[in-house]
Amino acid sequence: MSKKSKRITVSGNIPRQNQRQPAVIRLTQPKRFSIDTSDFMSAVRAAENVDYTQRSKLYDLYTDIMLDAHLSSVIDKRKNAVLCSSVEFQRNGKPDDAINEQILSPWFYRCVSDILDARFWGFSLLQFYRNGEWIDYDLVPRKHVEPVRRLILGRQTDIQGMSWDEFSDLLFIGRDTDLGLLAKAAPWVIYKRNTTADWAQFSEVFGMPIQEYIYDTDDEDARERALQDANSIGSLATFIHGKDTELQLREAGNKTGSADVYERLVERCNSEISKLILGNTLTTESSDKGTQALGTVHRKVEENVAKADREYVLKVLNYDMTDIFAHMGINTAGGKFCFPEKKDIDPNTEMSVLTQLHTTFSLPIDDDYLYEKFGIEKPKDYDRQKQQQVEEKKAREEKLKQQTEEEDPDGTTQTSKGKGQISRFKNRLHSFFVKAPEDGARLDW
């Protein structure tokens, strides 16, 4: 079989439906729960083995800790900051519709998600192929990939396998020795899980009353009746004993304080996970010391993390995937993928800017732009209403002109206020000069 047609097929011990080729990878169910720090350290040591690195235990542990609600939510929040941003391919500064049509398909959304997952899991290995007119790909199970020696392992416990250079159109994302951010998050999830279990046991013991049944030591019938009564009441803790035995519970000196210890440890674990994944805590949790200024700083930190993730995705698309796109028949030469920047302006601020542009600079603004910008539905009789507004405005201007303007004798137009000011000026001018004599003025010198 030639290299170009060779696919990395995946199956369990029983062949899957419609499986035509023998499975290259035999999957194994991940091990879950009952993990502690010793399991974590042994998994890390196996993954960091210099000669024969083995990551199956570590990735089983990663799969398990991803069930933690806080860890999964902050990872989704970080990824969504990129997945909710539109990616566009531009050539000579203009969008390329043919390639952008591929970008809008579901495979590209999954691809960006798997590219981001490389930062958490250490790497992602993708195999691309054509599915009709669309591109598609398969994510090779990470437990069956040995990135240092570039091997595909048939079973997750194998130390030898097939070189992935035998397969076509493979894209490796990440670094071969990187264990990902989940390696740093795992201890905090383990601490929190074990602490929560202890907290639940503490609440069960000290949060509910204990039923006590006392019977005569030599009376078995009384003991049976006590057991029946205890089973019929409910799930409360029960102590059934003879008169010659006694139960003593050594309670903590401060049960409320003891419960606070568990709660503070859980909160600390959550805050450490938030700082690791998002770079801050205030965008996911409330705090007594939180202020608006501090929250703004934390939000900027999170925005910088999202910006770095977007740059990471663009580096993969514009450089690492160049040969993949060429093999798939897509020409990306002379163009680049980018995240078009959208200005996030408050609607009130934008309204003020548009008003200033219209009144101060007399810039005409298209009505259709305003309807689209502010999400207002354009009326069906728009043209009739617009013409009616123009006629009403013209009528108001004519009426105002007739009320405020008067025609002067010399043909100039003066308002009533202006004419009154000129009349008062003339009267003051006449009173300043005396009337000249009719026979002329006499000169005494």
> Is residue 219 located within the same domain as residue 135?
no
**pLDDT value, residue 1:** 47
**pLDDT value, residue 19:** 67
Task: Give the 3-state secondary structure of residue 414.
Answer: strand
> Is residue 229 located within the same domain as residue 347?
no
- Whether residue 370 lies inside any domain: the answer is yes
Check pLDDT > 60 for residue 414: no
Alpha carbon distances (Å) from 89 to 100, 181, 314: 6, 30, 11
- Whether residue 250 lies inside any domain: the answer is yes
Boundary-marking domain end, from 291, 324, 352 = 291
Of 132, 134, 156, the closest CA to residue 30 belongs to: 156
Cα 409 to Cα 170: distance, rounded to the nearest angstrom? 93
> Is residue 21 located within the same domain as residue 137?
yes
> Is residue 325 located within the same domain as residue 347?
no
- Whether residue 241 lies inside any domain: the answer is yes
Cα 232 to Cα 229: distance, rounded to the nearest angstrom? 5
Cα 227 to Cα 108: distance, rounded to the nearest angstrom? 63
**pLDDT value, residue 288:** 56
What does the pLDDT average to over 340-347?
A: 70
Q: What is the 3-state secondary structure (H, E, C) of 226-241?
A: HHHHHHHHCCCEEEEE
First to last CA, the chain: 135
> Is residue 38 located within the same domain as residue 136?
yes
* CB within 8 Å of 370: residues ≥ 6 apart: 354, 376
- Whether residue 20 lies inside any domain: the answer is yes
Alpha carbon distances (Å) from 24 to 157, 165, 167: 14, 14, 11
Over residues 20-79, the pLDDT tens digits come to 677 788 988 988 878 899 999 999 999 999 988 999 999 999 999 999 999 999 999 999
Alpha carbon distances (Å) from 416 to 126, 405, 411, 421: 84, 7, 15, 9
Alpha carbon distances (Å) from 18 to 57, 242, 311: 31, 67, 40
- Whether residue 420 lies inside any domain: the answer is no
**pLDDT value, residue 228:** 72
- Pick the residue with more confidence: 148 or 378? 148
> Is residue 172 located within the same domain as residue 315?
yes
Structural domain count of the chain: 3
> Is residue 245 located within the same domain as residue 150?
no
> Is residue 139 located within the same domain as residue 217?
no
Q: Parallel, antiparallel, or unpaired for β 88-91 and 25-26?
A: unpaired
**pLDDT value, residue 41:** 95
**pLDDT value, residue 397:** 81
Check pLDDT > 80 for residue 17: no
Cα 296 to Cα 351: distance, rounded to the nearest angstrom? 25
Check pLDDT > 80 for residue 143: yes
Q: What would you measure as the largest C-alpha separation in the chain, in angstroms?
A: 159
CA 267 to chain centre: 22
Contact by Cβ (8 Å): 316, 137: no
- Whether residue 234 lies inside any domain: the answer is yes
Contact by Cβ (8 Å): 134, 105: yes
Boundary-marking domain end, from 384, 404, 424 = 404
Contacts 24+ apart (CB under 8 A), 203-206: 203/259, 204/237, 205/237, 205/249, 206/251, 206/252, 206/255
> Is residue 154 located within the same domain as residue 191?
no
Of 206, 196, 179, 225, the closest CA to residue 57 belongs to: 179
What does the pLDDT average to over 416-433?
A: 56
> Is residue 38 located within the same domain as residue 154?
yes
Domain of 70? 3-181+306-336
> Is residue 63 located within the same domain as residue 113?
yes
> Is residue 213 located within the same domain as residue 320?
no
